Amino acid sequence: MSRKRPTYAGLLFDTIPLQTANSYTEVSGATIAAGDVTSTRTINQTYLQVEEDQKFDIQFTFTGVTGYPAHCSFTGRYTGNPAHEVWLYIWNYTGTPAWERVTAAANDFVSSATDESLEFILPNSADYISSGEVKLRIYHNSNNVSSHDMYIDYIDVLAATIELPTPGTAVAMTGFTDGGFQNMTIDSSAGTITVSTDGDYQLGHYCSFSGTAMAEITLDLYKNGSKLVTLFQRRLNSLGDVGSGSSDAIRTCTAGDVFSYRFHSDTPSSYISIVAMRVMATKQN
């Protein structure tokens, strides 16, 4: 008695959208009182401590960044004069390479006796990344006072996997890897699964992601180029938290049906940073 071969297909996406600093340089010659680059990779009150015996200019290099730089998280504090200007910069690799301020605020790191967690929106563009490398700079622009210090407990760069520039406009998820298939057709690069025979299929979908703060992110299932159903919606919090959305259902399909997956947002100039995504189809009869 022969056994019927199963019919299934899956697509996988795995990346590390968040990177901590690979290295740093204190350009101005201010004194490093404690710590090193590893001190900036975990929030644990172990600091890279820089003394303000000169105007400090601390330049961090992040490597292995996948996608454009979109967001920076910082934990630590500047303990000095509230009137002193301490700013965050990002390196622009294009044209005449130069440092550019990330914000237009009077002060990015206001003097504090206790640690603060700060979030910075980075200019999401290919101008600010080169072969997976991104550079950030914390620069003291005021006259130095030797008793002042910068304490850096943590700093990172979060990259955007998908740009969602226009509210309500769906953008296809592409660039998957092969999750295995039999008696079906997949195109992992284009992000599609093609049904081979008529029948009922279990369709499963899962995504863990972060993104633009306060944006509502929607993932839709498309069949043959038209929206079939919304798979999930999730509103990110004020920090662009990491979380997940998932769904599954059994649907009747016809041979030749092509499924694809598209995201959209309700917020202009949004992005999502995907940690893991799984989509699959399994024939039930």
With respect to CATH, is domain 8-15+163-283 assigned 2.60.120.40? Answer: yes
Give the pLDDT confidence score for residue 4 in this predicted structure.
67
CA quadruple 105, 76, 273, 208: dihedral positive or negative? negative
State yes or no: pLDDT of 239 exceeds 90: no
Please report the DSSP string for 45-80 in residue order.
Answer: S--EEEETTS--EEEEEE-S--SEEEEEEEEEEEES
Range of lowest pLDDT (85-89, 141-145, 182-186): 141-145
Residue 2 pLDDT exceeds 60: no
- Work out the average pLDDT over 25-35: 92
Identify which has the larger pLDDT, 138 or 4.
138
165-177 pLDDT, tens digit each:
999 999 999 999 9
Q: Are 67 and 274 in contact (CB under 8 A)?
A: no
Least confident of 135-139, 193-197, 238-242: 238-242
Q: Identify the CA nearest to 13 among candidates 201, 212, 261, 267.
A: 261
Mean predicted confidence (pLDDT) in 105-125: 93
Calpha distance 171→235 (Å, rounded): 18
Question: What is the distance between the alpha carbons of residues 267 and 166, in angstroms, rounded to a whole number?
Answer: 7
Of all residues in the chain, what percent carry a pLDDT higher than 90?
A: 87
Mean pLDDT of 152-161: 96
CATH 2.60.120.260 fits 18-159, yes or no: yes
| Domain layout of the chain by residue ranges | 8-15+163-283, 18-159
Facing residues of 232 across strands?
Answer: 219
Q: Looking at per-residue confidence, does 2 or 217 come out higher?
A: 217
- What is the C-alpha to C-alpha distance for residues 162 and 214, in angstroms, rounded to an integer? 16
Is it true that 8-15+163-283 and 18-159 share their CATH fold?
Answer: yes
Torsion over CA of 152, 136, 139 and 42, rounded to 10 degrees?
Answer: 0
Average pLDDT, the chain: 94
Percent of the chain topping pLDDT 70 = 99
Q: What is the pLDDT of residue 1?
A: 45
Q: Residue 16: what pLDDT?
A: 87
More confident residue, 239 or 184: 184
Q: What is the pLDDT at residue 135?
A: 98
The stretch 226-238 carries a mean pLDDT of 93
Burial grade of 144 (CB within 10 A; 0-12, 13-18, 19 or more): middle
pLDDT at res. 3 = 58
Is the per-residue pLDDT at 254 higher than 70?
yes
Mean pLDDT over 80-85 rounds to 92
Interval 33-68: pLDDT, tens? 999 999 999 999 999 999 999 999 999 999 999 889
What does pTM read for this prediction? 0.83
Residues 6+ apart with CB under 8 A from 18: 156, 157, 158, 159, 210, 273
